[in-house]
Amino acid sequence: MRSALVVMLTLCALLQSLFVPTRAEGFDLRAHEVISFRAVLASRLDQVLREQMGFLRGRTEPVNGRPVLTWITEGSRLEDSPIFRVRHHFHNPTLPWDQAGLRVLGVQIGESSVIWGQDRGQVIGGNHSWHDARAAFFRALTASTNSERQQGFAETFQTLGHLIHLIQDAASPAHTRNDAHLSYSGIGDPDSFHTWAELNLGAILSSSSTQFDPSILALSTNSLAPIPIAHIIDTERYRQTRIPEAGTNIGIAEYSNANFFSDDTIFSPDFPFPRISSADLITERDSKTGELRRYFVKTRDGEVGYRLATISALFKFLPAPIPVVALDDFVLQDYGRLLFPRAIGYSAGLLDYFFRGRIEIAPPARFVYGLAQFVEGNAGAFTKLRFKVRNATPNEETPLPGQLIAVVQYRKPFGNLFENPFADLPAALSFAVSLPQTVTLTRDFTELTFDFPDPNAIPTNAADVFLTVVYRGPLGLEADAVLVGGKDLFEPDPVDWANVTDYDCFQGTLVNVGNSTLFPPFVPRLQTQRDLNQDGFGPDVLGPWTERGLFLKTFPLSQPPPDPSLTDFDLQLPARTAPQYARLVLLQDQPAYGLALFTTAAQEVSGLQFFNDRVAVRFDGVSNRLFVENGELIREVTLFDLYRGLSFTHLHLFLSSDAMPACLPQTVTAPPALMRIPGILPAE
């Protein structure tokens, strides 16, 4: 009888459509968008994007020109397009998953949404399964060009939108109680909960969020849809126990199926619950009209305390078996109060699950991540990075080997940052991708070296450097997961170390002791040019000094200075004299660090010597980066300075004598310019 009524209405609509250009009310797609928007806000996505993936603006970062959250909300809308996809958006949790899809006249015409979300063979409307999201994500993270990366991320986020659409549909009783709601030009059998949601989007916007109990993701898997996200929709417990529940340790389809009705399944014998005995009949006044209405209020068997159905106001006039029970606006309002929070929270939970894989990065034992020779014009590059990694994902292990890749994102400046730190930066990022390696990640840190051979080397002339490490392999119950770790490194840091003993200071006067004609080595009574006050005691000025066996080693300020040596150094100089300097370019992650210096032997021109000299100093890390603070995009730059022709950010000076500091400011532009000598880096 009901089917005949629907057919009759449909025929009427068909005739009507020939003459009337527009049709009945219906707002359906915005509900998905608003739920998805709220889900993104409720998830940890923003934090993950900023901290682990270097997205400046987190969830509002433009990807292919549009914010991340727009891709997700749009994807959640597009899952209903084209219409043929919709037949896969149903899941009846009272049936085994291979039988739980949409059935019409006893024939299954759609795949269960649980299986559909993991179906690698989606064709119509594009491939938007979990596997496609994972593949796009890995592709994006390890892309070497900005355009590939942007495209990969756009696909990732849009596909995640498609996936959370399935969860949201499973919050709708029509989708979990096999209630197809086909309509023609808006007339026919549209689902009233869908319609109510679209007409009352404010209720979704102001809704709270209820996340599922994470234990459901650790349940044993079903081979039909082995990714644990299947349990967000159906934990399979209701099918086994037939006991309706209201906790958060059940799937959303089990909750909506067992506790709510759809238009055509009110007290349907096809579903065990809710049943008449689950509710009490009460009478209350319609708050709009004052008319007396009778409601079934759910008082037992799972969720309680809400209007389950109303007795139709037409019950006196409608002959049996026309249904006398219906879902009015107040019933649907109560449904929304309970179902929207789960739609939002469970969708957020899927997003969090996708991004749950976390790698922690720590500096290596030697402290610096990378060491590079300086090349004239700042044209050098880091070809290796060394650092520690570990699996930091809560409660899930990576028991088998997987592929590990390091990616450094940076901006290539228009100019040499060591000469002009304010050089313009491009809007587009550049990426250096390491060679992959097969690794088994554990909870403990493992120190690894990553190779960045040309053309993937990391230039020393780089700004806004961010290190990401990507692992693809098994994680917990997911066979093909992607874990990400991120570290915002300080920018390539030119550490300069100079011997400026060609000048000394006497009573505030700068003396160019490097001029051997004016100031030959002091010999008492024979060469007394260095006895400047002619008191018979000299020399009054010292230098130049020649040093041998120099070692430089960086260290964290949290530890005591090490003893640089032949077996423990970042830079080695066999010898140095004035006015020579050596430059090392390094990558590290601390706002300040220590520099330990060791000189095996030093001899002054007049014969003075010292041996095994040690000193430790503090250097600031070099910044040339972008970040967002209070909604503003900040560019932070460490200022460079000039000393004897060298543009530097920090420069350790070996001076002739204890008197020299008083004259040091006078040497800023003193000739000759410092000359660079190459140093030796440790073998890696």
Partner 1 sequence: MAPAHASAAAYHGKVVDAETKAPLDGAVVIVIWHRKPIITMDGPAYFHRAVEVLTNAEGRFWVDASPGIDWNPLTYVVRNPWIVIFKPGYGPFPVAHVSPRYVIGFRGQRYELNLAELNRELLKGAVVELPKLKTTTELQEFAFPVPVLISTLVPLEKVPNFMRLLNVHRRAAGLGPYPASEGGPRR
Partner 2 sequence: MKRCTLILALVAVAVLAASALYAQPLRYWGKTPGGQTGWIEMPQGQYFEVGVGTVIPGWGRVKEVGDFHLIVEQALTEHAKDQLQQQGLMAYDVLRIRIPREDLRRPHR
Q: Given the rule CB under 8 A, which residues bind partner 2?
A: 411, 414, 420-428, 592, 613, 615, 617-620, 623, 626, 632-643, 648-655, 660-661, 664
Closest approach of partner 2 to the CB of residue 654, in Å: 7
Which residue among 11, 182, 428, 673 contacts partner 1 (CB under 8 A)?
Answer: 182
Closest approach of partner 1 to the CB of residue 30, in Å: 5
280 binds, among partner 1, partner 2, none (CB under 5 to 8 A by kind): none
Residue 396 binding partner 1, by CB under 8 A:
no
Residue 285 binding partner 1, by CB under 8 A:
yes
CB distance 347 to 36 below 8 Å: yes
Question: Please, which residues bridge with residue 469 across strands?
Answer: 406, 485
Residue listed under structure tokens 């009524």: 5
Distances (CA, A) of 261 to 272, 283, 331, 638: 11, 20, 10, 64
Residue 290 binding partner 1, by CB under 8 A:
yes
Nearer to partner 1, 202 or 455 (CB): 202
The contacts of residue 381 (CB under 8 Å, 6+ apart) are 372, 452, 454, 457, 458, 459, 460
Compute the C-alpha angle 95/97/102, nearest 5°.
75
The span from the CA of 448 to the CA of 320, in Å, is 75
Produce one character per residue of 117-134: b if its CB has 16 or more CB atoms within 10 Å, e if not: bbbeebeebebbbbbbbb
Residue 193 binding partner 1, by CB under 8 A:
no
Closest approach of partner 2 to the CB of residue 344, in Å: 33
Residue 81 binding partner 1, by CB under 8 A:
yes
Closest approach of partner 2 to the CB of residue 489, in Å: 16
Which residue among 194, 307, 487, 650 contacts partner 1 (CB under 8 A)?
Answer: 194
269 binds, among partner 2, partner 1, none (CB under 5 to 8 A by kind): none
641 binds, among partner 1, partner 2, none (CB under 5 to 8 A by kind): partner 2
CB distance 345 to 211 below 8 Å: yes
What's the token pair of residue 32? 């998905």
Residue 65 binding partner 1, by CB under 8 A:
yes
Of the chain, the end-to-end C-alpha distance in Å amounts to 81
Nearer to partner 2, 29 or 664 (CB): 664
Closest CA to 592 of 554, 625, 542: 554
**Count, residues near partner 1 per rule CB under 8 A:** 69
Closest approach of partner 1 to the CB of residue 26, in Å: 6
Which residue among 4, 82, 320, 534 contacts partner 1 (CB under 8 A)?
Answer: 82
81 binds, among partner 1, partner 2, none (CB under 5 to 8 A by kind): partner 1
The span from the CA of 561 to the CA of 619, in Å, is 13
Nearer to partner 1, 66 or 412 (CB): 66
Which residue among 77, 487, 583, 644 contacts partner 1 (CB under 8 A)?
Answer: 77
- Spell out the long-range contacts of 310-314 with Cβ–Cβ below 8 A and sequence spacing 24 or more: 311/281
Please count the other Cβ atoms lying within 10 Å of the Cβ belonging to residue 93. Answer: 28
Q: Is 70 helix (H, G, I), strand (E, B) or coil?
A: helix
Residue 465 backbone phi and psi in degrees, to 5:
-85, 130
Nearer to partner 1, 41 or 392 (CB): 41
Residue 184 binding partner 1, by CB under 8 A:
yes
Closest approach of partner 2 to the CB of residue 585, in Å: 17
Tell me, residue by residue from 220 to 259, as one string, x for binding to partner 1 by CB under 8 A and - for no binding. ----------------------------------------
CB distance 185 to 16 below 8 Å: yes
422 binds, among partner 1, partner 2, none (CB under 5 to 8 A by kind): partner 2
Residue 262 binding partner 1, by CB under 8 A:
no
CB distance 385 to 510 below 8 Å: no
Nearer to partner 1, 72 or 405 (CB): 72
The span from the CA of 626 to the CA of 121, in Å, is 42
Closest approach of partner 1 to the CB of residue 128, in Å: 11
What's the token pair of residue 514? 């490097």
| Strand segments (E) across 34-95 | 62-63, 66-67
Question: Please, which residues bridge with residue 62 across strands?
Answer: 67
205 binds, among partner 2, partner 1, none (CB under 5 to 8 A by kind): partner 1
Residue 482 binding partner 1, by CB under 8 A:
no
250 binds, among partner 1, partner 2, none (CB under 5 to 8 A by kind): none
Which residue among 4, 21, 220, 534 contacts partner 1 (CB under 8 A)?
Answer: 21
Q: Cis omega before residue 544 (within 30°)?
A: yes
Task: Tell me the window of 29-37, 213-221, 512-520, 642-650 that interacts with partner 1 (CB under 8 A).
Answer: 29-37
Closest approach of partner 2 to the CB of residue 576, in Å: 14
Enumerate residues 617-646 that contact partner 1 by CB under 8 A.
Answer: 628, 630-633
Nearer to partner 2, 320 or 427 (CB): 427
24 binds, among partner 2, partner 1, none (CB under 5 to 8 A by kind): partner 1
How, if at all, do strands 381-382 and 458-459 pair? antiparallel
Residue 487 binding partner 1, by CB under 8 A:
no
Which residue among 9, 57, 326, 677 contacts partner 1 (CB under 8 A)?
Answer: 57
Nearer to partner 1, 52 or 73 (CB): 73
Please count the other Cβ atoms lying within 10 Å of the Cβ belonging to residue 90. Answer: 29
CB distance 183 to 189 below 8 Å: yes
Structural Rg of the chain based on CA atoms: 36
What's the token pair of residue 529? 């040019």
Task: Tell me the window of 77-85, 508-516, 576-584, 659-667 that interacts with partner 1 (CB under 8 A).
Answer: 77-85
Q: Please, is 114 exposed, middle or buried when counting C-beta atoms within 10 Å of its C-beta (0-12, 13-18, 19+)?
A: buried
Distances (CA, A) of 58 to 53, 67, 149: 9, 9, 16
Enumerate residues 90-149 that contact partner 1 by CB under 8 A.
Answer: 125-126
DSSP string, 197-235: HHHTHHHHHT----PPPGGGGGSPPBTTB-STTHHHH--
Closest approach of partner 1 to the CB of residue 78, in Å: 6
Closest approach of partner 2 to the CB of residue 620, in Å: 5
Closest CA to 550 of 580, 567, 571: 571
Q: Which residues bind partner 1 (CB under 8 A)?
A: 17, 21-30, 33-34, 37, 57, 60, 62-67, 69-71, 73-74, 77-78, 80-83, 86, 89, 125-126, 150-151, 154, 158, 169, 180-186, 194, 196, 198-202, 205, 285-290, 329, 628, 630-633
